[in-house]
Structure 1
Amino acid sequence: MTITRNIEIPDAPRDAATLNKLMFVKLMPLLIAAYVLSFLDRTNIALAKHQLDIDLGISAAAYGLGAGLFFLTYALSEVPSNLIMHKVGARFWIARIMVTWGLISAAMAFVQGETSFYVLRLLLGIAEAGLFPGVMLYLTYWFGREQRARATGYFLLGVCFANIIGGPLGAALMQLDGVWGWRGWQWMFMLEGLPAVFFAMVVWKKLPDRPSKAPWLSAAEAEQIERRLAAEAEEGAGAGGHSFKQCLTPQILLAILVYFCHQITIYTVIFFLPGIIGKYGELSTLQIGLLTSLPWLAAAAGAIALPRFATTPARARHMLVAGLLTMAAGLGIASLAGPVISLLGFCISAVMFFVVQSIIFLYPASRLKGAALAGGLGFVNSCGLLGGFVGPSVMGLIEQSTGNAMNGMKIVAIILVLAAIAALRLRQGHEQKVGKQRLQSRRQPV
């Protein structure tokens, strides 16, 4: 008698290209959706600006200060938030962030004046802190340096989508003005804040902490991914990359300076573009919202199409410098031209918004590892995001003193040119090591 046994042969691990595609499909939609909700809830005050002035007497200067205060507490809370996420895992911590910011954003419906406006913006900054640098850290658990700029670019689509849908959606919600005795801006804050709380449950169920926790990867595949990324981190960061002191090295401080200038630009445009468009003529709230979405469509196109080409250190640096100069040129056009050309200028600038941002974070990520990487990414984002406080605050004062927000855009364009000059000196960790090795080999006698 012949006995036949069924022997199960484990599937061979999939190749790196297939695994990268799988990770993009499984992870990026969740992360993008979280960032969409995040940006809706931190920037929807831009549409409410006019009504907050009418209903509560919040002036342009007070509005600019309140818009910027978010970034003070956000920046101060970034490093501890990222260190906590490194210990407790991304799934729990990102879900926690979403629940608290959603509740506080919804509470903006109960603002009574300048003081409560300031307090809630400060609390929102604390609640939301850690999402962006947390995701930047999280991506280092999954993607190597060649894929990370592309993954970051996709993640930043959340900002584009939030601003594309935020204008029309916020305008539609403000049409509920008078329902149950609430003003339109109150409905907007409430109905845009609560979805973050519910989506946190999806993140809790679906987002794996790292490859070894992903049910859609085999043990061999997870080990392959984590081993490859560990080797890459060791190659780039070296022995010193474990120390948080590495965050104070000239190269990372230079990356912070460039990011600071970039964030001044982003948040100046986010918080003041609807008001600028509103002065183009007799436009309804819905028309302003639709026109506001056009630059963000351009930003989405740039984020999808361009970061994938930043596959080598030289390409990344060239794209970074070109991106900053393109942003400056677009804002320069916007500040000098009439309504149609001005809007075109904002669109030109916006194409490079998230190309630049996706590349900037390659520099600290190439030099740090472990807890230093977690804290370092939070530190870089914290310092850079101070630009989110400086930009709106200064723009509010310029608009109030000169009556023209475009004067502030000219200053921002100059800042971007200076950032481009600084970016010429940025080097990734692996790139700088190779350069030193070549220099040493040239000095050795033949």
Structure 2
Amino acid sequence: MESSIDRNRLYAKVKWAIIPYVFALYFFNGMDRTNISFAALTMNKELSISALAFGTITSTFFISYLIFQIPSSMLLKKFGASKLIPSIACLWGLATAGTFFAQDAAQVTAFRFVLGIFEAGFFPGVMYWFTLWFPSRERASVTAIFMLSGTCANIIGAPLAGYMVQYANWFGFSGWRWLFLIEGILPAIIALFGFYIMKDGPEKAKWLNEKEKALIRSDLDAEKAVTTVHTKKIGFAKIITNGTLWKLAMIYMFIQIAQQVGAMWMPVLIKGMTVGLSASAIGYIMMIPAIAGAIAMVLVGNHSDKTGERKWHAITPMLILSASFLLILLPVGGLLFKIAMLSIYGATVVSWYGPYWTMPPAFLSPEIIAVSLAFINSWSAAGGFIGNKFSGIIATNFGNTGVFVFLAAVALVSVVLVLTLDFKKMAIDHIHG
């Protein structure tokens, strides 16, 4: 029988082998999704885009993202993650690059709609791909490492985006146009390497020996047997009547409203609250919450895996996040106080991801997990659409204060919903623990 040291070393080897590629793709995914928030600092004026119109632009992405979630999951089951993920990454990069040519709000909206189509299958595809490689007890830290790339995108991408928007006015074209072009071409190129790098499970990995493959497969099979016993009453046809799935989806929808609207609107909101900040200065300021998030995400994910506790590792960041939106509003302390509150926001807006994404595979049947992940993620898209649309309306009528109060409220709803889950059903976290 394999020792725990052997097993730990094996999964460390697997993490180093397969995570870097999807880490790189998600890095550019984060940049391509949120670069609209920095582009808006000059694009909105150049193309005469109002706050309400900007809310429509940012929400349009989530419409197509929502519509194509389930179709993408069906393609995932048919073609496999190793083929689908590189394909859609290449296409979303080209859609981002195409925004360089937009001449009005309608064209920006169209490119964002196309971007949503191609991005729809990426995140649930990667989450499904991880289930082919890692048992549940490893996935909080794996997810945290993977999603760390999103915060790294903010650390590097925020100052880069701010600088480009302000200074990269090359060949008579505005900096925001070059931002879309460069940040779109790079992932399209990187995506092509995935057809060689990605493998759908340990059996197809030439860098594992037969003994290592067998150990991973035994872990995955043991977990599948337990989850099948716990959830055998749930079939594919009953997916829309599964109460736990709906709770998981609603938790994700509400917290993603807070996360996605925060990411899309924070540069504009900070500019509105602090007079005299340039685009590049805002970019550097937004590095700070991203760094806080990178540290907190790894620490929370690792501690959640070490203890096997998921509930409070998810709830605590969500609760503090809700408070941070209100703290940012306090009319005290000036810019330094705002930066301190942004650090709290940054540390909590992403650190719940690792513990949360261990929940769906633990609660739901393995036979429907791919579609279940897409279903959950589709409600993230619904939240993105609703949140950005409402934020445009709220900003128009109540200003920045209204947007921050709205975000605090939706984060708190997620906390309440997590408390309704029965965590006694997550016994699979302790297999081989």
* Common fold by TM > 0.5: yes
In the alignment, which residue of structure 1 is the partner of 2:103?
Answer: 112
Residue identity in the other structure for 2:256: Q
CA offsets per residue over residues 74-99 of structure 1, 9 Å max, x none?
Answer: 12211221221222122211110111
In the alignment, which residue of structure 1 is the partner of 2:279?
Answer: 285
The structural deviation recorded for 1:178 is 3.8
Cα distance in 1 for partners of 2:310, 2:363 equals 16
Q: Secondary structure at the match of 1:315?
A: coil
Match of 1:407 among 402, 407, 415: 402
Cα distance in 1 for partners of 2:51, 2:370 equals 37
Cα distance in 2 for partners of 1:33, 1:371 equals 29
User: What is the TM-score of this pair, normalised by structure 1?
Assistant: 0.89
The structural deviation recorded for 1:357 is 2.0
In the alignment, which residue of structure 1 is the partner of 2:94?
Answer: 103
Residue identity in the other structure for 1:318: W
The structural deviation recorded for 1:317 is 0.4
Larger Rg: 1
In structure 2, relative to structure 1, the CA distance for the partners of 1:26 and 1:433 (3 Å cut) is closer
In the alignment, which residue of structure 2 is the partner of 1:426?
Answer: 421
Match of 1:360 among 330, 345, 356: 356
The structural deviation recorded for 1:263 is 0.4
In the alignment, which residue of structure 1 is the partner of 2:323?
Answer: 329
In the alignment, which residue of structure 1 is the partner of 2:247?
Answer: 254
In structure 2, relative to structure 1, the CA distance for the partners of 1:295 and 1:123 (3 Å cut) is same
Count of residue pairs the alignment pairs up:
423
Deviates more, 1:210-219 or 1:425-434: 425-434
Is residue 2:309 matched to residue 1:318? Answer: no
The structural deviation recorded for 1:179 is 1.9
User: Residues 366 and 429 of structure 1 are in contact (CA less than 8 Å); yes or no, is this contact kept in structure 2?
Assistant: no
User: Residues 64 and 117 of structure 2 are in contact (CA less than 8 Å); yes or no, is this contact kept in structure 1?
Assistant: yes
User: Residues 296 and 350 of structure 1 are in contact (CA less than 8 Å); yes or no, is this contact kept in structure 2?
Assistant: yes
In the alignment, which residue of structure 2 is the partner of 1:394?
Answer: 390
In structure 2, relative to structure 1, the CA distance for the partners of 1:244 and 1:210 (3 Å cut) is farther
CA offsets per residue over residues 26-76 of structure 1, 9 Å max, x none?
Answer: 111111111011111111010111322221111111111111111111122
Match of 2:338 among 330, 342, 354: 342
Match of 2:374 among 343, 356, 378: 378
In the alignment, which residue of structure 1 is the partner of 2:123?
Answer: 132
User: Residues 242 and 368 of structure 1 are in contact (CA less than 8 Å); yes or no, is this contact kept in structure 2?
Assistant: no
User: Residues 237 and 366 of structure 1 are in contact (CA less than 8 Å); yes or no, is this contact kept in structure 2?
Assistant: no
Match of 2:262 among 269, 294, 298: 269
CA offsets per residue over residues 212-255 of structure 1, 9 Å max, x none?
Answer: 11111112321321232122022023333552524532212111
The structural deviation recorded for 1:337 is 3.7
Cα distance in 1 for partners of 2:51, 2:239 equals 40
Cα distance in 1 for partners of 2:290, 2:428 equals 38
RMSD: 2.3
User: Residues 236 and 430 of structure 1 are in contact (CA less than 8 Å); yes or no, is this contact kept in structure 2?
Assistant: no
Give the alignment of 1:184-333 within 5 angstroms: 184-238=175-229, 239-246=232-239, 248-279=241-272, 280-311=274-305, 315-333=309-327
Cα distance in 2 for partners of 1:273, 1:317 equals 28
User: What is the TM-score of this pair, normalised by structure 2?
Assistant: 0.92
Cα distance in 1 for partners of 2:23, 2:271 equals 29
Q: Secondary structure at the match of 1:311?
A: helix
Cα distance in 2 for partners of 1:178, 1:345 equals 33
In the alignment, which residue of structure 2 is the partner of 1:158?
Answer: 149
In the alignment, which residue of structure 1 is the partner of 2:172?
Answer: 181
In the alignment, which residue of structure 1 is the partner of 2:137?
Answer: 146
In the alignment, which residue of structure 1 is the partner of 2:61?
Answer: 70
Runs of 4+ residues over 6 Å off in structure 1: none
Cα distance in 2 for partners of 1:291, 1:282 equals 13
* Structure 1 residue runs without a partner (length 5+): 1-11, 435-446
User: Residues 53 and 59 of structure 1 are in contact (CA less than 8 Å); yes or no, is this contact kept in structure 2?
Assistant: yes
Give the alignment of 1:18-97 within 5 angstroms: 18-97=9-88
The structural deviation recorded for 1:429 is 7.4
In structure 2, relative to structure 1, the CA distance for the partners of 1:348 and 1:275 (3 Å cut) is same
CA offsets per residue over residues 275-320 of structure 1, 9 Å max, x none?
Answer: 1222312122211100012111111111111111223897210111
